[in-house]
Chain A
């Protein structure tokens, strides 16, 4: 395996809130190879956005009270970077696309100016060059009449078009990593399809690695090569996309897949919901955070946090059912065991 372009090692982030300290991210580790797409999947409050924002150092210091672990980008731990060094990195090396295209553009600046801003700052190009590049970027993301539209303001664009502009801005300086935080959630399905196609084509052209944060498993299936499933601030399962979808080992991942209706499945196939609701991270409990909602819970689950269990191709899950000592008569245990044995 090549050296990863980004490696997150045991990242921990805590927040001070009204109801006490919330451990939003509790020991997250993953790595990203050049040109690959890693999807981080999870429900609201699972810590997926916080993980992404801490890669760019976007969490305000007074709120994110505790940070631990390492984020290694090109051999350097960027978690320890000063604000100035971080600013040099943002937009140029690692850039981000946010969920809401309505608020992520400055309404008082033309599209062109906003596109050129990053180029001036990071690439120190001449004005003419930057203007030319801005038009090129707009053409690349499929905006018609790019030469005219660089001089227009964001309110003259529709939601889908704005998200294209946001993507153009994020890619203007040829970053090595693009973090996309729910880039299609605010868009309609037909527009979502356009944006997903665009992102995939751009990735083929530029070789940018993408961290895609989403709750939509359909988007994951279409976009990602690698998946990390987050629950209660931890990655409970990670692996290649096929393993996650066809051979899930963690009951939570299985639950997610079973609780989503599929367009191509017959109507009478029942949905199996995951009971209960996500845990309150300001009152963490002992043991596995998924235990209260898990149908296969054992005594050990409520007492100890499960250790990661990894197969040879990088498919990892944290679940006691994968332990040799778990009951072999349980169907899920047998299936999981098969997965982890044959990989």
Chain B
């Protein structure tokens, strides 16, 4: 550091009295200079320092809370039809300048024309259902799917991978074979089968995810545990007579937590997209239920006449996917600073 620049020559006024033995302070070099910080706190600090992470975390929070309270803010439910109010463009009083002015593409005020006095914030579809309610209902579905994916990852994936690696040997090879079989089945086939047996909907998507959704996580956890369990601190715990469950909970899992968290975060957008994709091609949720995929499919058919029907759900799903991805990316950098150069 430049402020520490050492003078090149000793000033003449260094007098001999500086050349006396200094009392050696024993503890001086033993003291660490920085205050104690746990690895988790360090990671959290790095996380907070990243603008993208903070922004996407805030956006996800906002979207999640509107998804919960949003449908209740409108007086219409998501499946309430009102043909008199069909195909109304979005109108938010006070936000006209943003395009939410209730005018169609010919710049005629549809609300005035049809004499509608309620403002539909995101407009209505061809059956006159309130799109605001439907979009946030769809967001609820997306977040629910994300939650399912996270729970599956954490409970089945971590447990399966952890047990497989910790016990090793025969147990491990048997469990590995099962995973290989599961990975061999394309998830689209599974979902089609469930859609035939049950019917397309949230239940069959969830069941399909239960069968295959946690496999990637199980593999990652298995790799981590295999790597960790031969490390010397685990051997040390074993020579101290520490029990298996304590080794797993105190030694193995906390050290594998970084990759686990990051992988969960990367799995969330994948799961959200999976559901939207299935709904889009008609294998997922069915009308009148709303999911972002269903809404995009509806809007896509009338893209030219009523672009708002496509644009609003498309923006929503893009936003949530981008936010989750940014958050996951930031988490990876924060939890494993070595990979970032």
Ordered by A's residue number, 11 sampled pairs between the chains whose C-beta atoms are within 8 Å are A18-B337, A285-B4, A286-B4, A286-B6, A296-B21, A298-B20, A299-B19, A300-B14, A304-B7, A327-B19, A327-B20
A147 adjacent to chain B (CB < 8 Å): no
**A299-B22, A300-B19 known, 9 other contacts, Cβ within 8 Å:** A275-B29, A298-B19, A299-B17, A299-B19, A304-B10, A307-B9, A325-B16, A327-B19, A330-B21
Rounded to whole angstroms, the CA-CA distance of A284 and B14 in the bound complex is: 22
B18 touches A323 (CB 8 A): no
Question: B6 — nearest CB in chain A belongs to which residue?
Answer: A305
Given contacts A21-B1, A23-B1, A284-B1, A301 and B22 within 8 Å (CB-CB): yes
Contact indicator per residue, chain B 1-41, by CB within 8 Å of chain A (1) or not (0): 10010110110001011111110100011100100000000
Contact residues of B between 289 and 324, Cβ < 8 Å to A: none
The B interface, classified by DSSP as helix, strand, loop or mixed, is: loop
Tell me if A298 and B22 are in contact (CB < 8 A).
Answer: yes
* Chain B positions near chain A (C-beta within 8 angstroms): 1, 4, 6-7, 9-10, 14, 16-22, 24, 28-30, 33, 337
Q: For B7, list chain A residues within 8 Å (CB).
A: 304-305
A240 to B6, CA, bound (A): 28
Is A307's CB under 8 angstroms from B10's CB? yes
One digit per residue, 1 when the CB lies within 8 angstroms of any chain B CB and 0 when it does not, for chain A 14-28 equals 000010010100000
State the majority secondary structure of interface residues on A. loop
- A304 near B29 (CB under 8 angstroms)? no
* Interface pair B6/A302, CB less than 8 Å apart: no
Range for the number of chain A residues in contact with chain B = 20 to 34
Query: Is the Cβ of B1 less than 8 Å from the Cβ of A280?
Result: no
Using A284-B1, A284-B4 as known contacts, say yes or no to A292 and B29 having CB atoms under 8 A apart: yes
A280 to B20, CA, bound (A): 26
Q: Mark A295-320, 1 if CB is under 8 A from B, else 0.
A: 11111111111010000000000001
> A48-60 CB contact bits vs B (8 Å, 1 = yes)?
0000000000000
Output the least CB separation between B3 and chain A (Å): 10
Nearest-CB residue, chain B, relative to A63: B341
The contact of A325 among B6, B19, B22, B30, by CB within 8 Å, is B19
Residues in A neighbouring B337, C-beta threshold 8 A: 18
| A293: Cβ under 8 A from any B Cβ | yes
Contact B29 A277 (CB under 8 A): yes
Instruction: Pick the contact of A295: B6, B19, B24, B29 (CB < 8 A).
Output: B24
B198 to chain A, nearest CB (A): 51
Kindly state the separation between the CA atoms of A298 and B337 in the bound complex, as whole angstroms.
41
In the assembled complex, A326 has its CB within 8 A of some CB on chain B: yes
A123 within 8 A of B: no
B18 touches A303 (CB 8 A): yes
| Chain A hits for B29, CB < 8 A | 275-277, 292-293
* Given contact pairs A284-B1, A292-B28, A293-B29, A298 touches B18 in the complex (Cβ within 8 A): yes
A200 contacts the other chain (CB 8 A): no
How far is it, in angstroms, between the C-alpha of A280 and the C-alpha of B19 when the chains are bound? 26
A204 proximal to B (CB < 8 A): no
Residues of B within 8 A of A262 (CB): none
A283 at the interface (CB under 8 A from B): yes
Neighbouring A residues of B10 by C-beta, 8 Å: 304, 307
Chain B nearest CB, measured from A263 CB (Å): 28
When chains A and B are docked, how far (Å) is the Cα of A18 from the Cα of B6?
24
Q: Give A61 Cβ to nearest chain B Cβ, in Å.
A: 13
Q: Which residues of B contact A296 (CB under 8 A)?
A: 21
Scoring B4, B17, B22 by chain A CB atoms within 10 A of each residue's CB, the highest score goes to B22
Contact of B22 with A302 in the complex, beta carbons under 8 Å: yes
Contacts of B17 in A (CB 8 A): 299
Q: In the docked arrangement, what's the CA distance between A287 and B18, Å?
A: 12
**Is A323 a contact partner of B24 (Cβ separation < 8 A)?**
no
Is the beta-carbon distance between A327 and B21 smaller than 8 angstroms? yes
Contacts of A292 in B (CB 8 A): 28-29
Contact A299 B18 (CB under 8 A): yes
| B21 cross-chain contacts in A, Cβ below 8 A | 296-299, 327, 330
Interface centre among B16, B18, B20, B28 (most CB of A within 10 A): B18
List the 10 closest A-B pairs by CB distance, nearest first: A276-B29, A300-B18, A305-B6, A325-B19, A292-B29, A299-B18, A297-B22, A325-B16, A326-B19, A299-B22
